[in-house]
Amino acid sequence: MASSNVDALFRPFQLKSLSLKNRIVMAPMTRSFSPSGVPGDNVAAYYRRRAEQEVGLILSEGTTIDRPAARNEPNIPFFHGEAALAGWQHVIDGVHEAGGRMGPQIWHVGSVASFLTDWVQDVPVESPSGLVAPGQPRGEAMSEEAIADTLDAYARAAADAKRLGFDTVEIHAAHGYLIDQFFWAATNQRSDRYGGATLKERSRFAAEVVKSVRDAVGPDLPIILRVSQWKQQDFDVRLANTPDEMTDWLAPLVEAGADILHCSQRRFWEPEYPELDGPEGLNFAGWAKKLTGAPTISVGSVGLSGDFMGAFSGESSTPASLEKLVDRMERDEFDLIAVGRALLSDPAWVKKVHARDETSLTDFTKEALTELY
């Protein structure tokens, strides 16, 4: 890693009741270490270790709302029910004792099956139109009643996050899961008010989720909304092909109450509309901030040589320069940067970067996925 001045990453950040000591966010990463949906002491210790070593904001692994088919792996944690919430209480208390800040990422997988296990829910899978990808049926189309119940389930999870003392809540609306299946025309063919020919119309479900979460947490707790152009079903899909389409997509969600947009890319340095501002142009988070005025989080291969989907097929990555990241953050292109695998394999990654202890940064290897440390 070439040495660069990393001060831009270590400026404080303040929004509503959220106060962060630096700009580095631990990206949400499913770990599947919560038997029966309950995060135990090992999960609490895993997050606490990152809080102890200077991570500014921790976003939890995806943790599911109270809908029967919300998860697609057996050891994904619930964010409902007494036992799971007691586990999360232990998590947030440990993070706070270590001086950290944290929000749960609340999640419903829609009709996406896990690519890591053969496990399937013993209840019907649900999605906007009973599809998982273009022309690929999976599960049932949700009734209006199922949608209303799902909105309530998001609200209850958010209210519980606040009650337990979490500092923010992130809604997972990315990567081809339930909310993203409403955005995507290929998986949303509904003829009621949750469907439609335009992205703006297909954003209605997400806007209602955000509104119900806002009603549940009150005005001061920041709500983060995670979105992506790409889908795990197809990396090349783009919801918004122009800035105007991006405005139609994201502005109503900010209007509905999303405070921070978490713009998921696999490589943060890739420009979103290079035809408009060149090969070094604004990335997704940069455009989202420019078009909506909301603060944004960027993400994707920070500090590592390869992108994250390779991790699931066993690929390793070596440490990479932070120079391009620092340049973009010095220009305030986006406000916060999320780091996934580098923090998964090394709980001390932020501390080492801050101390410019570059020689001790380690490779990411597939072994990091097999245990919690």
Name which position in 199, 299, 329, 350 contacts ligand FMN (CB under 6 A).
Answer: 299
Q: Is 226 in the site for ligand FMN (CB under 6 A)?
A: yes
Contact between 239 and 245 under an 8 Å Cβ cutoff? The reply is yes
Q: Is 308 in the site for ligand FMN (CB under 6 A)?
A: yes
Binding mask 171-200 for ligand FMN (x = CB under 6 A): -x-xx-------------------------
Residue 247 or 353: which CB sits closer to ligand FMN?
353
Residue 26 or 216: which CB sits closer to ligand FMN?
26
CA angle 34, 37, 39 (to 5 degrees): 45
Binding mask 229-268 for ligand FMN (x = CB under 6 A): -----------------------------------x----
Tokens 């947009």 sit on residue: 261
Cβ neighbour number for residue 8 with a 10 Å cutoff: 19
Tokens 């220009």 sit on residue: 331
Residue 101 or 175: which CB sits closer to ligand FMN?
175
- The token duo for 147 is 């949608």
- Which bin fits 206, alpha (ψ -120 to 50), beta or left (φ > 0)? alpha
What residues contact 134, with CB distance under 8 A and at least 6 apart?
A: 186, 187, 234
Q: Is 225 in the site for ligand FMN (CB under 6 A)?
A: no
Q: Is 70 in the site for ligand FMN (CB under 6 A)?
A: no
Residue 129 or 264: which CB sits closer to ligand FMN?
264
Active site (annotated) includes residue 177: yes
Name which position in 300, 310, 319, 347 contacts ligand FMN (CB under 6 A).
Answer: 300
Catalytic residue chosen out of the listed positions 46, 177, 194, 273: 177
3-state SS track over 65-114: CCCCCCCCCCCCCECCCHHHHHHHHHHHHHHHHCCCCEEEEEECCCCCCC
Q: Is 292 in the site for ligand FMN (CB under 6 A)?
A: no
Name the residues annotated as catalytic: 177
